[in-house]
Amino acid sequence: MKIKTTGFLCSLVLVILLTIPFIPTVMTTASAAEYNWKIQSVWGRGDLSMETLAYFAQRVSERSKGRIKVEVFAEPEILPLPEVLPATSKGAIEMAHGGGAVWSMVVPSGDVLFGSLSRIWDFPDKTVTEGATMQRKWIFESGAVDIIRKEYAKHNLHWIDMHTAGSVCHLSTKKVRTLKDIKGLKLADLGGWMGQWHAALGWVPVEMLPASEMEMALRLGTINALTWDLSAITGFKWHKAAPYWVPNEGQVTHIIQDILINMDVWKGLPGDLKKAIEGAAEDYFHKCNEEYEKLVAQVMSMVKSGEVIESPLDDEYVKASYEEAYKLWDKASKEDPASAALIKSIKELRGIK
């Protein structure tokens, strides 16, 4: 589900009305302040990165010696998904958790960083930790962090750090192997480049549904397949309605997600507390690596037991998926300078000319 530009502007009106109740509690005594904040994820309860967010809040408290308390919410416990970014931008909530694909209508390069620009993060031979470590090193050592932060700063947001959500998971109600098999099947995805890529291959992209509606949509045939991370199996149990796991669909093997903070809140913090938050975000990065490694092992165990059925696509699909992806890389580079800079840097990282 994307935040369309008009929807974003409308959301600002709602956010302004919400701002007063959610003004951060700050007790200023120059040397020791207490901050009571809220962070909302764009993902519902059951999503592993959302559930693990409690660890981030714990580490913020510990690293700040109790001076910052962060209360964690899932979508839609404070706000529905499209309003999380504008709410954080306006300061109605202090922090947001999610992925750039969700708000790429506002920050186009978010699609590239997240991996919705298909095959951009394609490292099937790397473990969760290996891939995420390489990505984070690239962000902070290549200068990509400056591009990313500049784009979010345009919307009064500070990008703190990345964390992984492992690989994109495709589940289908039908066994699929070929381009012919998937033609016309309705696939819930995040739109943007992801939707264009799927459409070019023959899927019928459908706007991503809230997690609470996904299983019923699968059972009713409103959608035939969906894309999420592996939490789709272990957290939401959607494989009970869509038992076929397409492990090599290839959208992205190493998802990058974000933690954002309202820029005014960030600028108002003393240096030691900024370091506490950055340290907690890095701790959360390592925790996500650990938890998603376990998740992969759990899914493979479910495949072995027959609870989940592997349905890999054939070589013709894989070949076509790369061809269509590279076309979109060129298109994205022409449409947005920040996306072009990130794509160029990722190509250098991967040795692609």
Rounded CA gap, 171 and 153, in Å?
36
**Weakly modelled stretches of the chain, pLDDT under 50:** 1-10, 12-13, 16-17, 19-32
Please check whether residue 46 is in contact with residue 231, taking contact to mean a CB–CB distance below 8 angstroms. Answer: yes
Q: Using N-to-C axis directions, what is the helix angle for 128-142 and 337-350, rounded to 10°?
A: 120
- Rounded distance between C-alpha atoms, residue 34 and residue 37, angstroms: 10
Q: Does domain 5-115+122-165+255-297 have CATH number 3.40.190.170?
A: yes
CATH 3.40.190.170 residue ranges of the chain are 5-115+122-165+255-297, 168-252+303-350
CA distance 17 to 6: 18
Q: Are 159 and 109 in contact (CB under 8 A)?
A: no
Cα–Cα dist 145/295, whole Å: 28
Is residue 198 within 8 Å of residue 179, measured between CB atoms?
Answer: no
Helix (H, G, I), strand (E, B) or coil at 52: coil
Dist CA 222 CA 72 (whole Å): 32
Distance between CA atoms of residues 40 and 317, nearest Å: 37
Q: First and final CA of the chain: distance in angstroms?
A: 32
**SS3 for 92?**
coil
Q: In what order do the strands lie in the sheet with 204-207?
A: 204-207, 186-189, 225-229, 168-172, 244-245, 309-310
C-beta atoms surrounding 274 within 10 Å:
15
Class of domain 168-252+303-350: alpha beta
What distance in Å separates the CA atoms of residue 156 and residue 77, rounded to the nearest whole number? 23
**CA 263, CA 153: separation in Å to the nearest integer?**
7
pLDDT of residue 186: 98
- Length of the chain, please? 353
**pLDDT score of 20:** 43
Distance, CA of 254 to CA of 133 (rounded, Å): 10
What is the C-alpha to C-alpha distance for residues 32 and 150, in angstroms, rounded to an integer?
30
Contact 332, 103 (CB under 8 A): no
- For residue 230, give the DSSP letter: T
Bridge partners (DSSP) of residue 142 are: none
User: What's the pLDDT at 29?
Assistant: 42
Distance in angstroms (rounded) separating the CA atoms of residues 276 and 56: 11
Pairing of strands 95-98, 34-41: parallel
Q: Which residues contact 80 (CB under 8 A, 6 or more apart)?
A: 210
Task: Identify each DSSP E strand in 153-255 by its residue range.
Answer: 157-164, 168-172, 186-189, 204-207, 225-229, 244-245
Pseudo-torsion of CA 178, 238, 195, 333, nearest 10°? -100
Taking phi first (over 0 means left), then psi (-120 to 50 degrees means alpha), and beta for anything else, what does residue 225 get? beta
